[in-house]
């Protein structure tokens, strides 16, 4: 457990009148990508906790200097790490995640660890059969070379522009890239690509657990990396659960919808859902 994780968990446990809300980042991001959200949710009366993946750097600059620290991290290892951190909370949290973090949010909810969950542009899990061309193009820089599986790599600006920030201006895309983008482990994209042909994949979600809790899936209309077909595929699988399962599409938004200049629209959508149940 990092010092930052420990401090956030201690603060959340000390705020006995506030429900914790755990934020889970995705690939090429750090917990700091949630800073605006954590302030927003704290102002709304919650105890925000932006958890790290194993060996996350404390800063963007450090992550860029030490990409090898993240190499080899798989979805299963990250999920187990996050579950262990959540176990340190004295109240069951709401969990909000983006991209691979949206997948991890559903994995954690499927383990009964979340009081309510919001999965934003979630990477697909085993059983979702759609494979949009834009997703393949987004993954190609990583999965085209099998040797990348054990590496951690950054995206170039052009790759980030296509996969993350295709619906904002080029100036804003460059600002987002310079502010947030860091190297990421390449194992999860390989796991995603092989999920439906590997019966032992870690890319599995227990959609039927009655302790899953309410779930909202948010999809960006213009998202190239995780377009509607994948978000809706997750929604259709999650409807097998007896709990509340909803989906909404944010018009004109891409994969950077949690960090761009209109982030608050997405945050308020998630906050409204969480307030209904927690």
Q: What angle do CA 108, 112, 113 make, to 5 degrees?
A: 55
The reported pLDDT for the residue numbered 236 is 97
The pTM assigned to this predicted structure is: 0.96
Half-sphere exposure in the Cβ direction for 5 (13 Å, CA) = 23
The reported pLDDT for the residue numbered 141 is 87
The reported pLDDT for the residue numbered 23 is 98
CATH of region 3-277, choose from 3.30.1120.10, 3.30.70.1290, 3.40.50.300, 3.40.50.1820 = 3.40.50.1820
The reported pLDDT for the residue numbered 43 is 98
Where exactly are the structural domains of the chain? 3-277
Q: Name the strand (E) or helix (H) holding 245.
A: strand 245-250
pLDDT tens, residue order, the chain (278 aa): 788 899 999 999 999 999 999 999 999 999 999 999 999 999 999 999 999 999 999 999 999 999 888 899 999 999 999 999 999 999 999 999 999 999 999 999 999 999 999 999 999 999 999 889 999 899 888 999 999 999 999 999 999 999 999 999 999 999 999 999 999 999 999 999 999 999 999 999 999 999 999 999 999 999 999 999 999 999 999 999 999 999 999 999 999 999 999 999 999 999 999 999 99
Nearest to 52 by CA among 16, 77, 18: 77
């Amino acid at each position: 457990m990092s010092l930052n994780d420990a401090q956030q968990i201690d603060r959340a446990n000390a705020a006995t009148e506030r429900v914790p809300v755990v934020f889970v980042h995705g690939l090429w991001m750090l917990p700091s990508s949630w800073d605006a959200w954590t302030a927003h949710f704290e102002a709304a009366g919650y105890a925000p906790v932006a958890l790290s993946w194993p060996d996350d750097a404390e800063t963007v600059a450090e992550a860029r200097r030490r990409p090898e620290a993240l190499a080899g991290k798989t979805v299963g290892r990250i999920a187990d790490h996050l579950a262990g951190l959540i176990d340190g909370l004295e109240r069951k949290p709401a969990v909000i995640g983006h991209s691979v973090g949206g997948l991890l949010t559903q994995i954690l909810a499927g383990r009964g660890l979340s009081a309510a969950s919001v999965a934003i542009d979630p990477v697909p899990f085993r059983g979702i059969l759609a494979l949009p061309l834009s997703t393949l193009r987004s993954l190609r820089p990583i999965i085209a070379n099998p040797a990348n599986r054990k590496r951690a790599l950054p995206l170039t600006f052009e790759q980030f522009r296509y996969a993350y920030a295709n619906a904002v201006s080029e100036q804003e895309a460059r600002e987002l890239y310079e502010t947030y983008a860091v190297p990421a482990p390449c194992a999860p994209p390989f796991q995603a690509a092989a999920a439906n042909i590997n019966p032992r994949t870690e890319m599995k979600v227990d959609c039927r657990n009655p302790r899953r809790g309410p779930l909202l899936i948010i999809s960006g209309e213009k998202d190239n990396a995780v377009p509607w077909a994948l978000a809706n595929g997750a929604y259709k699988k999650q409807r097998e659960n007896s709990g509340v399962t909803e989906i909404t599409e944010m018009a004109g938004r891409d994969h950077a919808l949690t960090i761009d200049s209109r982030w608050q629209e997405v945050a308020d959508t998630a906050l409204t859902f969480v307030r209904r149940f927690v």
